[in-house]
Every structure is written in structure tokens, then in C-alpha cells.
Amino acid sequence: MKSVTILGATGSIGTSTLDLIEREPENFEVLALTANCDVEKLAAAAIRTNARRAVVAEESCLADLRAALAGTGIETAGGAKALCEAAAMGADVTMAAIVGCAGLEPVLAAIGQGGTIILANKEPLVSAGDVILAAAAASGATLLPADSEHNAIFQCFDSARPHRVRRIILTASGGPFRDKSLAEMREMTLEQAVAHPNWSMGAKISVDSATLMNKGLELIEAARLFPVANDQLEIIVHRQSVIHSMVEYVDGSVLAQLGPPDMRTPIAYCLAWPDRMAAPMAPLDFVGIGRLDFEAPDPVRFPALRLARSALEAGGARPAILNAANEVAVAAFLERRIGFLEIAAIVEDTLNGYDPAAPDSLEAVLAVDAEARRLASERVKDCVI
């Protein structure tokens, strides 16, 4: 039996993870569940799974959590320190699904305990890749990618012979605005931006998918996870989201991982690794799918790809600045304070206006993150609609 901690248990990834482990209670036991402030959903999940501990990031929600779990014997805690303590409980498997860079310190706390860390939140690896990889090397922790694209690469990549890989091809659905002109995109609403054509996801990642920043962040994440040169990483648009990514070898062979657009598939792979477990998705209907289409992404309509590629090539603090500015801009869009096209513009302005030294520690990464957020917030004020 594997012990599991889920950091971000009430979000899209967290609920998908719970769905899988609750189907096999004989194989998984829950140590800790965390959430930002959704007390009702967190308490219900903790009771269903008989979790040892439930934690809310917002300390103001702790009293409500204690009341909801009174008499259950489930430990409760609140605040940032409590999140890290839950992450460090020594679970066999930790699902890291806290949205954004807020998940960085809990992820590092989990890595410090060794075990298997499932990375579903790409932002910490983008912002602090060197720090995370060094921590994993020191503790012996295993990092498994839950992003469908990186999970696909992980399954296809010959890690024993990386020199035989010619290129990694990340696939993108193109998002809800893939056929819209720039003029049309300027008028797109929040509701349209979060209506992804293929995937069911949270609001932040849905907006990132609409701008294609999600794919840009995944580009940087792939560079951290797999030993290839930056110019061996490519992105193509694949509308059906059936092929999740591909690895091409020097002999011309291309290995692709296919599956339904359902995050439970890569999550199940990670939970059971190195084995496999049953998942509730229907088999792929190849006849029903009928065709698979591919096209190049448009860097003019989707400048986030250019910004991410540039940040990857420059290295240093650039990926952390990119991520922080994007988080601020997306949050402003979700609050209807800026328009859709302003997201990438704010990110670019922040990158152009801030060029610190490369961070070499967690504290340095957090300092870069904080300053980039401050600058991006100032730019949001300048373009509020």
C-alpha cells in the first residue's frame, strides 16, 4: 500500500487524483490533504479518505475546518508553515497540484523527504528548476511529471540513451482562440477564454491555454526534465488532443503517447509507477476520431510562445520573471481588470523592465518572483479596462 499526500486537493488535479485513489482503497492510504480555502470540499474529501491531516493555506479558514472535522480524529492546521509540514510528512507519493508559484516551498519540503513527487504544477519547475532538481538529487526523490505532455514524453523518452533522441515534440490543442484573428481576440471574454475545446481544467490553466502561455511554460519545463538541447524542443498544434507528445529518434522513428484528453490518465500512470493501474476512461475510439491534424502555431497571434522561448534561451532569472508576471496578468484578467491581449503585453513589459542576476537559492528565486509581481502589478494598473 502506498501513502499519498495531495497538495491542492480541491482543485481540478486534486479531485482527479482523489477519484483514482478512492477507487482503489486497498492500494492507497491518505496522509494529508491541503487546500487554499475550500473548507467544505476539503473536509468532505478528508472524511471520505480517512486522511490523517487536513490543512488550509488561509489561516482565517482554520476555525471553519476544525468545526467541519470535529469528532473525526483528523488533524487540522492552517497557514504556509502548515502546508510545508504536511508536505514533509514522508508520504510515499506526493501530488504537487498547488496552482502557481505558491506551490514552490511545499514542493521543496516534500522533495526533502525523498519518495515520489508528482509534479502537476509546472510553475515551480519553471521558476526554480535548478533549485528543485538539486534538492531532488540530494534527497533521492523521484520526480514524475503529471502534465499530459511531459508524462507522454516520459513514457516515450529513452533516458538510458538520450543521445539517440533527435527532438521532442510538444503538442498543443491551440486553445479556444486558435481560429480567431487578433481583432477578434481583443474582444474575447473571460467566459470564452476558459471554455477549452478539449480539456476540463481550472480557470488559471485554461486562460494559459488560451494564450498558449501554458505551452510556453511546458517548453521550459521540458528543458528542465529531459536532457536535450533547447533547439531539440518543438511545439506543434494538434487540435484533437489525442497525441499528447512525441519523441523522434535519430533513425527517424517517432514514438507518440496517445490517450483521451483526461488528466486521470497521466495521474494514474504516476500514482502506479513503475506499475500501471486501471483508470475509468473509455478506450480510444480510433474510427470515431477519424483523423489527426497538425499545424504550426502562430507566433504573431500568440506571442506568449515567443516570450517563453526567449526566456528559456536567456536562462537565469528570465523564466521566473515570465512566470510571475504571467500569474499576475492572468489573475487580473480573471478579475476582469484587463483585456485578453493585455496578458502577454504585461508579461513582455515586465521582462523588458527587469533583469536581475540569476537566482542561486530559494530565497533568491522568491525575491525575483516578488519583484516581478510588483512590476507586473504596476503595469496592470496602467492598462485597467
Kindly report, residue by residue over 263-301, the tens digit of the pLDDT: 999 999 999 999 999 999 899 999 999 999 999 999 999
**What pLDDT score was predicted for residue 384?**
60
- What does the pLDDT look like over 247-267, one tens digit per residue? 999 999 999 999 998 999 999
Specify the DSSP element, H or E, that contains 78: strand 75-78
Q: How many angstroms separate the CA atoms of 241 and 280, rounded? A: 18
**What pLDDT score was predicted for residue 385?**
57
Between residues 351 and 195, which one has the greater pLDDT?
351
Statement to judge: residues 216 and 341 lie in one domain: yes
Provide mean pLDDT across the span 3-23.
96
Indicate the residue among 87, 119, 145 that finishes a domain: 145
Name the domain count of the chain: 2
Residues 6+ apart with CB under 8 A from 258: 242, 243, 244, 284
Statement to judge: residues 38 and 124 lie in one domain: yes
Statement to judge: residues 138 and 155 lie in one domain: no
**What pLDDT score was predicted for residue 382?**
81
**What are the C-alpha distances in Å from 151 to residues 170, 213, 233?**
11, 19, 15
Q: Is residue 270 part of a domain?
A: no
Provide mean pLDDT across the span 206-220.
95
User: Please, which residues bridge with residue 35 across strands?
Assistant: 56
Q: Which domain holds residue 257?
A: 150-261+291-382
**What are the C-alpha distances in Å from 260 to residues 87, 145, 351?**
30, 17, 36
Q: Is the pLDDT of residue 5 over 90?
A: yes
Give me the CATH number covering residue 89.
Answer: 3.40.50.720
Statement to judge: residues 297 and 213 lie in one domain: yes
Statement to judge: residues 200 and 167 lie in one domain: yes
**What pLDDT score was predicted for residue 205?**
87
**What pLDDT score was predicted for residue 200?**
62
- Report cis status (omega within 30 of 0) of the bond before 274: yes
Pairing of strands 53-56, 93-96: unpaired
Q: Is residue 273 part of a domain?
A: no
Q: How many angstroms separate the CA atoms of 115 and 128, rounded? A: 20
**High-pLDDT (> 90) share of the chain, %:** 90
Q: Is the Cα torsion angle 224, 229, 230, 235 positive or negative in sign?
A: negative
Question: What average pLDDT does the structure give for the chain?
Answer: 95
Give me the CATH number covering residue 338.
Answer: 1.10.1740.10
Q: Is the pLDDT of residue 197 over 90?
A: no
Q: Is residue 255 part of a domain?
A: yes
- What does the pLDDT look like over 153-178, one tens digit per residue? 999 999 999 999 999 999 999 999 99
**What pLDDT score was predicted for residue 219?**
98
- What does the pLDDT look like over 19-72, one tens digit per residue? 999 999 999 999 999 999 999 999 999 999 999 999 999 999 999 999 999 999
Between residues 194 and 163, which one has the greater pLDDT?
163
Take residue 276 and report the three cell numbers written for it: 500501471
Statement to judge: residues 298 and 372 lie in one domain: yes
Q: Is the pLDDT of residue 110 over 70?
A: yes
